[in-house]
Amino acid sequence: MYIKQLENGQVRYTQKYVDKKGKTQKVQITLPSKTKVMQARAKSYWKKKFY
Whether residue 17 lies inside any domain: the answer is: yes
Residue 3 confidence (pLDDT) above 70: yes
In a domain, 44, yes or no: no
Q: What is the pTM of this model?
A: 0.78
Is 51 a domain residue?
no
Which of left, alpha, beta for 7 (phi over 0: left; psi -120 to 50: alpha)?
alpha
* Residue 49 clears pLDDT 80, i.e. is over it: no
Q: What is the pLDDT of residue 51?
A: 60
Asked if the structure places residue 6 within a domain, the reply is yes
Domain count, the chain: 1
Q: What are phi and psi of 17, to 5 degrees?
A: -150, 165
For 7-38, the pLDDT digits (tens) are 999 999 998 988 889 999 898 999 999 999 99
CA distances from 26 to 8, 16 (A): 22, 4
